[in-house]
Amino acid sequence: MIRPQKQDVNELLARIYTRYRYSLILLRAMVVTDFKLRYQASLLGYLWTLLRPLAVFSILYVVFARFLRLGAGIPYYPVYLLFGIVVWGFFVEATAQGLSSLVVRADLLRKISFPRYVLVLSVGASVLISFALNMVVIVFFMALLRVPVRVDILWLPLLFLELVALSISLAFFLSALYVRFRDVNYIWEVCMQAAFYAIPIIYPLALVPARYARLLVLNPMAQIVQDARYVLVTPQTETISQLYGTPWVRVIPVGITLILVVASVAYFRRQSASFAEEA
């Protein structure tokens, strides 16, 4: 009974690989090319992947931690702040680059027939590599400041999966929308600037009145940032389950993310036939 089941699974995996083999080859080639071209002709090259979030962290830490004393009550606040910046940076970069991914490669869309979603996924994969490199810096700071590693860290991969799903789904939606409406780029930039201060990246959530904090953490990004800080940096991080008194409330932001995934993919597929003509 076991052998036929294994054989069926192997056949299923083989069919899936055969169906998406061409897409995977294209995805790999585009990711490698994107990552190389991004830092081509720059003196520091790939180091900018690490230096950019560190530069932002240094400025925000001096202004908000040293001068305004916002993180005085949070253990390991430097790691707390840097980790929030890195998570937020992945979201911003994945959505911003994904937004223009189809238009930037409009010539490729017109000349070659291939699955359009590969363009958006290649951007997301490239940004994910940068995110992984930034996490190396986070681990270094954790070791430097002797941040204790707790068993809660096992939840971190699921939170990262939620982060990737949210970012890539929005990238699919925005890229399809940008093909038709070029104003989307400017609108999204304004939204990201506002969201940076609406989400507790630089300030503790405890500073926000409880009735507003409960609404704020229903935002999937706010929930991801706070939960990720809780499991990786300090259990004194205020999370959505603490504000509502139950872990089941996470169903709301996770549900919002799943709805975005389904709706964005459906919209992208519906609009994909006209990408070559309109991009």
Tens-digit pLDDT profile for residues 229-263: 999 998 988 999 999 989 899 999 999 999 999 99
Residue 7 has pLDDT above 70, yes or no: no
Task: Between 66 and 78, name the one with better pLDDT.
Answer: 78
Q: Give me the count of residues in the chain.
A: 279
pLDDT at residue 210, as a whole number: 86
Taking residues 169-179, report their average pLDDT: 94
The pTM for the full model equals 0.88
C-alpha torsion 255→171→278→186, nearest 10: 110
pLDDT at residue 171, as a whole number: 95
Task: Between 156 and 21, name the one with better pLDDT.
Answer: 156
Decide: 160 and 87 in contact? Cβ < 8 Å: no
Picking from 20-29, 101-110, 199-208, 220-229, which range would have the lowest pLDDT averaged per residue?
20-29
Spatial distance between the Cα atoms of 162 and 106, rounded to a whole number of angstroms: 30
* Domain positions in the chain: 26-278
Q: Which residues are CB-neighbours of 26 under 8 A, at least 6 positions away?
A: 114, 115, 118, 122
Taking residues 74-92, report their average pLDDT: 91
Residue 277 has pLDDT above 80, yes or no: no
Query: Which stretch, 37-46, 107-116, 153-162, has highest mean pLDDT?
Result: 153-162
Spatial distance between the Cα atoms of 56 and 54, rounded to a whole number of angstroms: 5
Spatial distance between the Cα atoms of 36 and 39, rounded to a whole number of angstroms: 6
Residue with tokens 């925005």: 174
Decide: 15 and 103 in contact? Cβ < 8 Å: no
> b or e along 249-264 (b: 16 or more beta carbons within 10 Å of the residue's beta carbon)?
bbebbbeebbebbeeb
Decide: 34 and 49 in contact? Cβ < 8 Å: no
Task: Between 53 and 223, name the one with better pLDDT.
Answer: 223
At 1, is the pLDDT very low, low, confident or very high (cuts 50, 70, 90)? very low
**Among residues 120, 111, 34, 110, which one has the least CA distance to residue 279?**
110
Decide: 155 and 100 in contact? Cβ < 8 Å: no
pLDDT at residue 278, as a whole number: 65
